[in-house]
Structure 1
């Protein structure tokens, strides 16, 4: 098959006819759908141009001379064509035909369907789409002008912004190929701002869709706590069951996933289980892993010390109630009173909690100071060195309490002593979390268990002495 059969025209030396035939065939044989036919069409077009002995520029300039004036009509600075008034067009059909022919050839350089096809292909298959875009862009560069170059970039960017599944790497690939320079300050001179915003919006849609797919993939795992909570999170109308509050760490993991999704992808908020959003919209209390650990840790110690004859049962019960209050009940009671009446019950609870926590901190400080005095066998009536040692020990304890005290902004000042006591009693869990290895944590945990057992025993003995001496 010769080149004229491929172009479906008779042999000619009219370059305009050759170009029109090529543009017509290009609509049927696109590089993405018919790569072989497109290559043959391209080669035939190049050979046909070589045959033409007198090659002329694609956009030929023409000179229009008015019948009443000998001067040529001026060229338009934007289009490159001569300014031809409508009256001139009526009186000179040849000029009108030339102008219309030129316009039709310009429009035939590329079509909107070609742009949409290549934009869709580059999103689906970046390698093949890049090849197709390179061929189309080379064709526009060869037969277009500056105005057409700018319009092509805008048209392709707009088509790309409408493609679902658009990725950042695809935009960077196209930007590099077409020299968009989107990261530069004056990038709007090449691609208008509203089209750039469309690209960013489509990229965000892709990111959100991918995040939701990741949630569905995680929820599909058969045996995993995180998969269970994720299935619950993305379900439509499953209510939170009462037993879920008793499973250590379950609701804590669910809240973590909920906050992560709603914070990073607010667009997915409406797709999340509405019962989860309603549940976490109000302050709630539930059982966590650290609470289970502390319950077993301190519960076993109180059970062992309850068999000691030297410890008064009243002292044991009192200290146990203080531990339970600060580790498990203080936050729950605060939420309860605040929800009941923010102006009265909540304020009264905060005030009582503040005063009682101050007393507990003073008691802890006094006990630790007495232990230090007993260890070094210091008497208060000693010399200045003994007093200095006690003062130094006291400052050291104050620094420890200062480090334990919460630094979070937004916490009411009246709650700071109570939170400090809670953190002191939760020290075993905080200490265990310092270690990355469970074997090391277990070894040091046993040592801490023995030390705190002796410490608690000494504290209960002193409280028992106070009670037995009638000071209670």
Structure 2
């Protein structure tokens, strides 16, 4: 079967007719779905173009009947009439694919740049070049076109994921399929992914820079510090409630999305955050105000400056802030063990005294036995105390630390209540009611303690 038969046309010297036949059959024999049929079609197309001039010089004539040929005298050429030696026979050379591209490096680079900068306006140029390579190039040239375009796109700053998807869809790269490597090798796919990732990271950094210039409040201050060129972290950072938490939150968020951008932040600030410095936070400020108000109204006499007021204030400060500071500052193991033992004993006695005091207070105000539920009131109080102890007792910490954690959780319960209610208005209302309850209960317990001290000889 010769080239004319493959193309389905008569021998002709009209190259436009040959191209139309090739374009018509190319829709049937696509290189991605029928590579063998496409190769045969391509060879026929090249053969027909080469023989177009011969078809014009030697027009096709009807063959004579076999009998007429036998009766006529045939003047055979000498090279056919005289038999050759078998040893001199040479095998015809097979068709060789050209690997020379049908475009220049500058043309493919300019196309990739134009697609990245003004993609929608340059898709027709992409389609024209792709059609030209498909019609005039062989399989190797077509595959080289796809790879050259992918490599050039991977070198373009600002390459975005949606553009890669559009080009892949238009050129049949099938990057999302499991066999996508038949046109674009995995190395080029990784290069495209890395360039898209770099573009997204750069956009995120520019957004961060815009926020640190225009954002206000604590978020803007945290970003300004992280992006500054300070040689050391200023001391006043510790005195702004919640600022260190906000800075740590922004660093963690950036690390989870674009870890490569961490190196662009101020190294002095990052080192400062890694040290986990002690600083004011909104939880500490709120609890300081809460228990200050409660103690102000609960102390029976002398106020906060009285011995009992100073003692209770010291217990609150120690449990909420001082213990952790002491534990982190100790360097010798035996001192840490001693602190753990003393803290466990002190907090255990404190919890025992609190629960016994509440039980005695409930028993003193309960009605006599036989009247209403007076006899069951101590049982209810014990059940409530056990429930409260269970809610603040932690099994996630070592045994010696559990009493101290329970006391710290009791003292931080107002803040925990606000967090559970997501700092809604109802949460502040309940905390106000809770503060009045704590004031009354603490006042009763302190009066009972003073009466017990006065009773002692």
Q: Does 1:451 align with 2:444?
A: no
Residue from 75, 80, 88 that aligns with 1:68: 88
CA 1:144–1:56 in structure 2 vs 1: closer, same or farther (change >3 Å)? closer
1:360 aligns with 2:350: yes
| 1:350 pairs with one of 329, 340, 348 | 340
Asked whether 1:273 is paired with 2:266, we answer yes
- Report deviation, 1:443: 2.8
In 1, the alpha carbon distance for the partners of 2:322 and 2:453 equals 26
* CA distance in structure 2 between the partners assigned to 1:188 and 1:373 by the alignment: 81
Native 8 Å contact 1:311 1:460 kept in 2: no
The 1:195–1:459 alpha-carbon spacing in structure 2 relative to 1, beyond 3 Å, is farther
> Normalising by structure 2, what TM-score?
0.73
Instruction: Show the counterpart of 1:88.
Output: none
Q: Deviations over 1:149-190 (max 9, x none)?
A: 322222222222212122222222222222222232232333
Unaligned runs of 5+ in 2: 1-12, 20-41, 52-85
CA contact (8 A) 2:298 2:440 kept: no
Counterpart of 1:256 in structure 2 is: 249
Change (3 A) 1:296 1:392: closer
Please, which of 384, 390, 403 is the counterpart of residue 391 of structure 2? Answer: 403
1:326-356, CA deviations, whole angstroms, 9 ceiling, x for partnerless residues? 122122111111xx33x22223222322232
Aligned equivalent of 2:36 = none
Residue 152 (structure 1) aligns with: 145
Q: Assess if the C-alpha contact under 8 Å between 1:432 and 1:445 holds in 2.
A: yes
- Corresponding residue pairs, total: 387
Distance (Å, rounded) in 2 between the aligned partners of 1:311 and 1:255: 36
Any idea what SS the aligned residue of 2:214 has? coil
Contact 1:315 1:464 in 2 (8 A): no
Give 1 or 2 for the bigger CA radius of gyration.
Answer: 2
Q: CA deviation at 1:134?
A: 2.4
Q: Please tell me whether the aligned partners of residues 242 and 280 of structure 2 are also in contact (alpha carbons under 8 angstroms).
A: yes
Q: 2:80 — aligned with what?
A: none
- The 1:130–1:351 alpha-carbon spacing in structure 2 relative to 1, beyond 3 Å, is farther
Matched with 2:404 is: 418
Q: Is the CA contact (8 Å cut-off) linking 2:355 and 2:385 kept in structure 1?
A: yes
Matched, 1:189 2:177: no
Structure 2 equivalent of residue 33 of structure 1? none
Change (3 A) 1:182 1:231: same
1:427 equivalent among 413, 417, 423? 413
Q: CA deviation at 1:388?
A: 7.8
